[in-house]
Amino acid sequence: MNLYFHATPNSMKVAVLLHELNLPFEVTPIDIFKGEQHLPEFRAVNPNGKVPALVDEDIIVFDSHAILLHLSEKHGRFIPTDLSRKAAMLSWLQLVATGLSPYSGQAIHFLHYAPEDLPYAKNRYVKEVERTYEVLDRRLEISEWLAGDGYTVADMALWGWAASAGYIFGDKGLDDFPAVKRFMTTMSDRPAVQQALALKAEYTFKAVLDDETRKALFPDNTNR
C-alpha cells in the first residue's frame, strides 16, 4: 500500500486509520507548496490533484473520506454493521466532509493566504466553522463518540480538522467547544494518533508562502 501524503488535515486522518488498522504502508510525500500535486505521475493517481490518495494493491482511491470508507469496509473495522449506527456514522462523517472541512479550509484561506484583506469573507467562513463546531459540541456532550458508543472513522475525520482549530481561532483553540476539546484529549491518548503525528514529523515540507506556493496552491487565481 502506498499513501500519497502531505501533512494536511485530510492526509492525517487517513494516517490515523492506517495505524489503527496496523497496516503496513509506504509513503510518497507530495509537497503541495512546491506544486508536486500537479505532476503527471501524481495526476495519474488522483486526477483532481489533491492529497491524500492511496494505492491499495490494484485499487486506486482518492479523497480522504473515500479512503476511510474503503479501508474500514475492506477490513471490517471502525464502521458499524448495524444499519442505524451506520447511518449515524455516515451522517456525522458527511457533516465533517461537507461542513467542517470546506468551511475550515476557506476560513484558513481568507485568514492566512488571501492576498487581500476581505472582512466579509473572513467573517462568513469563521462564523460557519463556529456554527459547525457548535453542532459537533452538542453531539459530543451526550455521546462519547460521534456515531454513539463506538469509535469510528467519523471520529478520525473530526480529529483531522479539529487538530487545526488553532489556525482559525488562535490561542483559544477549542476553548469555546468543551465537548470537542474533551474529545480531542481522548483522541490524543490513542497510539494510532501518536503514530500519525510521528509520521508527520518525519517529513519536512516547504512552509514559505511565496509566489511559487501561491501558484501551486491557487493556480486558477494566477490567470486573473
Q: pLDDT by residue (tens digit) across 17-31?
A: 999 999 999 999 999
In contact, 208 and 33? CB cutoff 8 Å? yes
Distance of alpha carbon 67 from alpha carbon 173, whole angstroms: 28
**CB-facing half-sphere around the CA of 173: CA atoms within 13 A:** 13
pLDDT digits (tens, 9 = 90+) for 114-152: 989 999 999 999 999 999 999 999 999 999 999 999 999
Residue-by-residue DSSP string for 101-167: HHHHHHHHIIIII-SS--HHHHHHHHHHHHHHHHHHHHHHHH-SBTTBSS--HHHHHHHHHHTTTHH
List, in sequence order, every residue forming a beta bridge with 2; answer none if it has no partner: 26, 55
Query: How would residue 211 be classed by pLDDT, with cut points 50, 70 and 90?
Result: confident
Give me the mean pLDDT over the 43-64 stretch: 97
Within 10 Å of residue 51's Cβ, how many Cβ atoms? Answer: 25
pLDDT at 223: 52
Report the pLDDT value the prediction gives residue 224, as an integer from 0 to 100. 45
Please report, to the nearest 10 degrees, the dihedral formed by the alpha carbons of residues 67, 50, 168, 158 taken in order: 0
